[in-house]
Amino acid sequence: MRINNAQISAHNELNLNLHTRQFALFSEHLEQKGIDSDNLISQINALQVAIPSWALGTGGTRFGRFPGGGEPRNLEEKIDDVGLIHALTKAAGAISLHIPWDIPKNPGEIKSLAASHGLIFDAVNSNTFQDQSGQLHSYKFGSLCSSDDNSRKLAIDHNIEVIEYGKQLGSKSITVWLADGTSFPGQANFRHNLFRTRDSLKEIYQHLPADWQMFIEYKPYEPNFYSTVIQDWGTSHFLAQSCGEKAYCLVDLGHHLPNTNIEQIVATLLGIGKLGGFHFNDSKYGDDDLSVGSIKPYQLFLIFHELVWGMANNEANNPPIAYMIDASHNLKDPIEDLIQSLEAIRIAHAKALLIDHQALAEAQQNHDPALAQEILQEAFQTDVRPLVREARLRNGAALSPIDCFRELKVRENLIDERGKTTIATGL
Ligand SMILES: [Mn+2]
């Protein structure tokens, strides 16, 4: 199923009156503050977030999986689903592939299918956290860190192969996330594990094309519960520095211990020009992979404040950040869940754009924390939804993507096309 412009227009027509009145009020509010709404809208529309190819199916936990029907059966259908999300929101203009779950058999055709939906290929992701069937050397005790030369070489070769797939699709980056670590004290030597990982990454880095980037993701625990080789941003930064200028850190919101000040990490990495990738999700306890903004919307706003200010004051020449949603959809329809996450991202971004940076800098200079809080709250408490809707309207997307998805009975159509019991590859 594809959604055409006429269907989007019909949905917008029904809701246009109310929206026009709400946006007129909001514009007046902006005008009084001397803010140019056109400029805000183009900044909002410029932020595009990649959808990973493994996000279109129902996720699961180790306890169970409850598929909802109509899941994509192959890479083509996954791209079609991202196309649906992008048609409704115009906020998800990229897809991030996971190898080997989604190996493009005919890269040329896959590339033109994506282009027909207005999608490009974002970072490609390698997978050395599970053994594939028939694999000769196991990753059970580590991949890039492994003390077994054969396992380590297999993991290095896999990453090089992933770069080759990415080149054929026009991707410009590879994301490396490792499950490597230990579950018991004494199980392995910390320093040897770290340095072997560094040397493996350096070998992969040698195969990186000149215009590519490598993103190194960190995570404090899980699936290993005692230590993780790349446990935090400092370790990720050490590895990126060791590899070279095309290697960057990747921040995943769920990959922090509870109450970590993630916005400060973002500020630091942007300040030194080493923030390459960013994975959105939300969490209550750990790497819960919940919908973006569903648990801690204020934290998301504070992070966006650092992203907006950091990129506007980019002395370290940090490259444009590769944004991706990295969540799991266990209960909700994956497409609806991704639409909600995109909405939360847009709202937090729009609120951050409202922050008066000059007034905040003055409050900071004058040691006035009460005023600094007022300035942040003024932006955070503003209902920016009329602005976000207007941005969508001008971009040819739906005023309310979720409503439009339901009105058009997209899921019912997908179940008709693909069946009730299909299961997408992935976690
Ligand atoms: Mn991630």
Cα(283)–Cα(94) distance, rounded to whole angstroms? Answer: 24
Cα(193)–Cα(146) distance, rounded to whole angstroms? Answer: 7
Based on DSSP, count helices (H) and strands (E) in the chain, helices before strands. 15, 13
The alpha-helical segments, DSSP class H, found in 354-380 are: 357-365, 369-380
Give the per-residue pLDDT at 165: 97
DSSP reduced 3-state for 352 = helix
DSSP reduced 3-state for 65 = strand
Give the per-residue pLDDT at 385: 98
281 CA distance to ligand 1 centroid (A)? 9
327 CA distance to ligand 1 centroid (A)? 8
Q: Containing H/E element for 275?
A: strand 275-280
Q: Containing H/E element for 94?
A: strand 94-96
Residue 210 contacts residue 153 (beta carbons within 8 Å): no
426 CA distance to ligand 1 centroid (A)? 14
251 CA distance to ligand 1 centroid (A)? 8
pLDDT of the chain, 427 residues: tens digit per residue: 999 999 999 999 999 999 999 999 999 999 999 999 999 999 999 999 999 999 999 888 888 888 889 999 999 999 999 999 999 999 999 999 999 999 999 999 999 999 999 999 999 999 999 999 999 999 999 999 999 999 999 999 999 999 999 999 999 999 999 999 999 999 999 999 999 999 999 999 999 999 999 999 999 999 999 999 999 999 999 999 999 999 999 999 999 999 999 999 999 999 999 999 999 999 999 999 999 999 999 999 999 999 999 999 999 999 999 999 999 989 999 999 999 999 999 999 999 999 999 999 999 999 999 999 999 999 999 999 999 999 999 999 999 999 999 999 999 999 999 999 888 876 6
Parallel, antiparallel or unpaired: strands 213-217 and 247-252: parallel
33 CA distance to ligand 1 centroid (A)? 38
Give the per-residue pLDDT at 427: 61
**Residues 11, 15, 16: CA angle, nearest 5 degrees:** 105
287 CA distance to ligand 1 centroid (A)? 9
Answer whether 0.95 is exceeded by the pTM: yes
Residue 304 contacts residue 265 (beta carbons within 8 Å): no
253 CA distance to ligand 1 centroid (A)? 8
